[in-house]
Amino acid sequence: MLKPFAALLISAVLAGPALAGALEDASALCSDPMTTGPEKREQMLRYGFTPAEADPQGALGDLAIAHILPFTNDLPDLEARFAAAPVLAGNINRMIAEGTISLWQREGALLAFSIGQTAEGTEHVTCLFAGPPSDDLQTMFDRYGEPEDLPHLETLALRFDETAINLQTETRYQMISIWSRLTSEPPRTPLTDAYRLERIEEPADG
């Protein structure tokens, strides 16, 4: 009986993590303090994400709509802010062409992933996820806290700040995670559920 059990255990390890929903898995992959940016990119396929074509007029434009509000605080009204989404989509598309961002897809969702550097030379990981409405979002709210209802922004959102540590390397990260849902009626995009991560590695002497 031990041999079959061992074989099953090894198969499970080789097969990768058990998949949850796309948003929940994107949150787990992006925020994991035990993996560097390049390691996260290498694990995309194991989490069920596959490379996606960049189409600013299609799904990439929808991802931009889901994430445009935090980038447009200086614009005068809500319609002007959403109208700026094509600019964000174009900027992401340019960065994909330059190799700064990689674009991934799963179950109708998109994940834009980038690895940058801070002025101190430490790693800065950014994830922008947008997907169709799913129960994953409520799972994240149950896990991290009550979301804020922002009707003037047609948004339900939760921000979670934390300091995370890689226990193997003792690397410390400052992380900001934001989960949100656009509540517009009619929907402005089919990709209403969004997740954004900003993870900044602290300098070794920080």
pLDDT one-digit tens code per residue, 62-91: 999 999 999 999 998 999 999 999 999 999
Mean pLDDT computed over every residue of the chain = 91
Answer yes or no: is 75 within a domain: yes
- Both tokens assigned to 31: 């925020």
User: How much is the pLDDT for 17?
Assistant: 58
Answer yes or no: is 12 within a domain: no
User: How much is the pLDDT for 204?
Assistant: 79
User: How much is the pLDDT for 9?
Assistant: 30
User: How much is the pLDDT for 10?
Assistant: 34
Answer yes or no: is 99 within a domain: yes
Structural domain count, the chain: 1
Which pLDDT band, with edges at 50, 70 and 90, does 20 fall under?
confident
**Where in the sequence is the domain holding 184, given as residue range(s)?**
20-201
- Both tokens assigned to 60: 């990439």
Answer yes or no: is 5 within a domain: no
Count Cα atoms within 13 angstroms, Cβ side, for 82.
14
Answer yes or no: is 49 within a domain: yes
Packing angle between helix 22-31 and helix 136-144, nearest 10 degrees?
40
Answer yes or no: is 1 within a domain: no
Answer yes or no: is 80 within a domain: yes
Q: In Å, what is the CA distance from 155 to each residue of 87, 116, 185?
A: 21, 28, 11
Which pLDDT band, with edges at 50, 70 and 90, does 18 fall under?
low
Answer yes or no: is 150 within a domain: yes
Digit-coded pLDDT (tens) for 132-167 = 999 999 999 999 999 999 999 999 999 999 999 998
For a pLDDT cut of 70, what percent of the chain falls above it? 90
User: How much is the pLDDT for 167?
Assistant: 87
What are the start-end ranges of the H helices in 68-159? 78-83, 85-98, 136-144
